[in-house]
Structure 1
């Protein structure tokens, strides 16, 4: 069977399992295609083979490459994390979550066979497969990600062993050693990173005697499902976040409105239908993604959404490279988010051209069609978001609530830094705190300021200088190892200066906007009193 046929067959299997699980088969197929593109992105010749499955009949090389790399860029985060639909199945405790994860591993296997894949691409497919199975099986697997370009022997890829035909259908020497990919019993591998010592023949290991006697070892108890949090618990998490006073007040108000609306309905009274869609405006690093995730969980706890998952996208995941495909792409994203929250970051990028207009028109229609099971949150800088909402009357009528995320004050940024340090068993000395205060006072608050991310960067740089300062210490004390001093927050004369490279503003944007310095997938940093809350997909 050709590699192209293998991919088509694995996508069909993925779609069938999705349909059985009550998901949109088209959305599952799209998810599988994007996983395949992300994993095969660096494989020579893969784009053409992929396009023959994804877009049969399209022969224009430019369109083929554009579609392939658009799909790859939208799914790179899935090289080491579960996909959106898999997360939805896991969250709903579907019995088909494992089958869907296994089907994704077949997609991964087929993807790297689309051309002559380098060994590190095969390794990426192994890591992705492990992540899918790990999520579906409740965290049973822990396969470390090998570095790019690692060799076949004597290095980090020693866990990739020779196996008999079957399993993933890869060449024997390249098949990854992953429990669950070999046989239904799981755990038949010989990778010391995965199996317990008993599987290696260690007579001293627990369960080794049972294995020697031919007895079947007792299965490990399943990891208990994390109990769902109540509205009160989720609001307490929100309140514990540093700063964001205006955000907290507005979220509490929204919860009160929705709670009373639900009670009136249960009492047989008429209740005005309140729009649940929200606009978040603010600079990077102010906690927008974290709050959006909490809102999804709150709506689920209120039984306003069946699942409450967060699907985070930007323009690249809504707009296709050619006319006619954007509507389909946007509709598929909405299908993935159905039952939860669709979070569109830098939404103002959806202005100024026919592709953006098509995406917005489709979004408005999907919001209407799925109004009982989909909440959309759009986020971005304040002024461009006003122009974004104003471009379509349907948007203005559906987004009636705007929540402003203020920049953190110096005191709040220092509290964030303290929280990040405490979470890693570090502590700032009084002199270090004074030094950080001076740094914060001297830092201009432009639109490119990273807020919570700025505090994290300060911490990471200080930890690096701390390690360099102690490199020659023979017997450092506990305080030596945990205390960050003022010197650790002071740039050294011979230290390379990091510069931020900002992307040029989109030519279609109505006004030049400085790009987020944290990259195309910004990470909002909002920290509770006990820990730092970060967005996961980070992305």
Structure 2
């Protein structure tokens, strides 16, 4: 790859450059474009009028709804690699660094969409770091001492790329802003630095506990702009099915393109597991599972009979406790011991399994399982499939696919402990297949600071002891419980701080390397911090209902009041 790379200054140019790399890597053009458009949309989402520029730069013929759908699909990419990027890294493709750089360029080009906004700068920086960090590999638990970025010619190519992107952020954003007719700074209402509320995946469903990024789910209906879970006309199913089959074939070709290159060994993957912060019991259980698999493999090779042991897993724990990160490692370990053929991770939730019509859900679930064959299917908040006929159809299809592909598919269901136990116990077809439960505890405050330290290093920034002390204060003052995001909360704090950092330097013509790298205490103002912004207030007490759903104290009080009113009305009658 050339080191004199010319950065594209528009999204359309960045998309064209990405498609050239995709063609060289054997990646489907439709898949690459859909991922890149979603990445750009999610980066630019906070900016006023971004969808207008996004529609123009992506070729026109789109609507604001298409933009929001793409942004929703791409939110995980702000903190995790795209599925194609993850697959290229998994197979150790020689095109992985170049593809990562092209995705980083797409993220940076998205800064020019809509009105200038500090959150967009933060989104672009962290999204670029997520893609380039995947190509660079994991960050060790104790980051090594290295020369200043760009000063050592022998740095790994992916690290040079990451350094280059970080150092050029201000210059690129300035050149992109110069292309717009109105260069004036226009901020949306409220603080430009707020993390934003979004859904449970915003800004990304990830657990950057070691500076590595977990593989996100395969985008659903990305090319045609349909939102996962939208009602779909059954008459249009044929076109969707044909496109999905084409994408699956392209992804399979990508996965096997570099089969001659070495894959990570069991020892390497277990070493990565051991480097994760905390999770002592989780690590011990994965080590035990690995030992069982290795012995079982040796028994088969010796001609001995081996009992059929289910390898599907239940991960329970609050958000941001490392479930996705460990699931990614499980896929690699299972591949290394010969249980799986590819080891990729496909992460989905209800919206990516359930369709709007009966009969369509079975097809949609089967397609997702087909994309995960050879690897791990990770279903987040799987209990959301309970309660209606559409979810029941998805569960029945899932059980069938697990049976039909029992030799080359592992399913991991994840979510909160109480509703997960109810979900498994109420579905006999699942209870017999999910016998291993692994609980992920909340991180301690010291562990969250350690995770923050690794995230900072993984994004090529510096933060001194004063910053860590400020973060400790923020964490200590944040209510804990099911709604606290753990590593995700820390990740949100870092992402918001990076946006403030970029905003501080916006008028500095020639920032030094130290300025570009250094986060300061003022980038973490206590008055702007808040919990995740997920369902329910941060201080609300939480109760679990019999159906496994979560209620805040306000919900309980409201329900009691409604029941009391109903009783009084009944008495009057």
For 1:331 and 1:290, how far apart are their aligned partners in 2?
A: 24
Match of 2:140 in 1: none
- Closer, same or farther in 2 for the Cα pair 1:272/1:427, shift >3 Å? same
Deviations 1:215-246 (A, max 9, x none): xxxxxxx9998631110000000001111111
Asked if 1:335 corresponds to 2:370, the answer is yes
For 2:528 and 2:358, how far apart are their aligned partners in 1?
A: 46
Asked if 1:408 corresponds to 2:443, the answer is yes
Instruction: Name the SS of the counterpart of 1:279 in structure 2.
Output: strand
Match of 2:547 in 1: 510
Aligned pairs for 1:428-507 within 5 A: 428-429=464-465, 431-463=466-498, 484=519, 486-491=521-526, 501-503=533-535
Higher CA-based Rg: 1
- Closer, same or farther in 2 for the Cα pair 1:449/1:87, shift >3 Å? closer
- Closer, same or farther in 2 for the Cα pair 1:225/1:75, shift >3 Å? farther
Deviations 1:154-204 (A, max 9, x none): 789xxxxxxxxxxxxxxxxxxxxxxxxxxxxxxxxxxxxxxxxxxxxxxxx
Structure 2: stretches of 5+ with no match in the other structure: 1-25, 42-50, 100-111, 115-130, 136-156, 183-256, 537-541, 553-573
Asked if 1:427 corresponds to 2:463, the answer is yes
Asked if 1:299 corresponds to 2:334, the answer is yes
Structure 1: stretches of 5+ with no match in the other structure: 1-20, 22-27, 51-65, 102-118, 122-130, 157-221, 516-539
For 1:251 and 1:350, how far apart are their aligned partners in 2?
A: 27
Aligned pairs for 1:357-368 within 5 A: 357-368=392-403
Residue 325 (structure 2) aligned to one of 261, 265, 290: 290
Deviations 1:109-142 (A, max 9, x none): xxxxxxxxxx989xxxxxxxxx9xxx9xx99x99
For 2:531 and 2:88, how far apart are their aligned partners in 1?
A: 42
Aligned pairs for 1:69-80 within 5 A: none
- Give the deviation of 1:341 after TM superposition: 0.6
For 2:468 and 2:287, how far apart are their aligned partners in 1?
A: 33
Instruction: Name the SS of the counterpart of 1:330 in structure 2.
Output: helix
Instruction: Name the SS of the counterpart of 1:384 in structure 2.
Output: helix
Aligned pairs for 1:37-186 within 5 A: none
Instruction: Name the SS of the counterpart of 2:432 in structure 1.
Output: helix
Aligned pairs for 1:245-324 within 5 A: 245-324=280-359
For 2:449 and 2:429, how far apart are their aligned partners in 1?
A: 42
TM-score (norm 1): 0.55
Q: Is the 8 A contact 2:91 2:261 kept in 1?
A: no
- Give the deviation of 1:455 after TM superposition: 2.0
For 1:361 and 1:385, how far apart are their aligned partners in 2?
A: 17
- Give the deviation of 1:489 after TM superposition: 3.7
- Give the deviation of 1:511 after TM superposition: 3.7
Deviations 1:238-292 (A, max 9, x none): 0011111111000000000111111111112222222110011111111111111
Match of 1:377 in 2: 412
Q: Is the 8 A contact 1:234 1:297 kept in 2?
A: yes
Q: Is the 8 A contact 1:70 1:316 kept in 2?
A: no
Q: Is the 8 A contact 1:310 1:340 kept in 2?
A: yes
Q: Is the 8 A contact 2:92 2:258 kept in 1?
A: no
For 2:437 and 2:501, how far apart are their aligned partners in 1?
A: 42
- Give the deviation of 1:340 after TM superposition: 0.6
For 2:75 and 2:515, how far apart are their aligned partners in 1?
A: 40
TM-score (norm 2): 0.52
For 1:341 and 1:455, how far apart are their aligned partners in 2?
A: 27
More helix by share: 2
- Give the deviation of 1:457 after TM superposition: 2.9
Match of 1:229 in 2: 264
Instruction: Name the SS of the counterpart of 1:398 in structure 2.
Output: coil
Higher relative contact order (CA 8 A, sep 6+): 2
For 1:370 and 1:344, how far apart are their aligned partners in 2?
A: 17
- Closer, same or farther in 2 for the Cα pair 1:388/1:455, shift >3 Å? same
For 1:332 and 1:502, how far apart are their aligned partners in 2?
A: 30
Of residues 361-370 and 265-274 in structure 1, the stretch that sits farther from structure 2 once superposed is 265-274
For 1:74 and 1:421, how far apart are their aligned partners in 2?
A: 25
Q: Is the 8 A contact 1:284 1:448 kept in 2?
A: yes
For 1:83 and 1:463, how far apart are their aligned partners in 2?
A: 21
Instruction: Name the SS of the counterpart of 2:314 in structure 1.
Output: strand
- Give the deviation of 1:384 after TM superposition: 0.8
Residue 354 (structure 1) aligned to one of 389, 396, 408: 389
Root-mean-square deviation (CA, aligned residues, Å) is 5.7
Deviations 1:299-323 (A, max 9, x none): 1111111111111111011001111
Deviations 1:460-505 (A, max 9, x none): 44455566777898999877776655555443xxx76667543479
- Give the deviation of 1:458 after TM superposition: 3.1
Match of 1:171 in 2: none
- Closer, same or farther in 2 for the Cα pair 1:444/1:269, shift >3 Å? same
Q: Is the 8 A contact 1:350 1:360 kept in 2?
A: yes
- Give the deviation of 1:324 after TM superposition: 1.1
For 2:66 and 2:423, how far apart are their aligned partners in 1?
A: 26
Aligned residues, how many?
Answer: 374
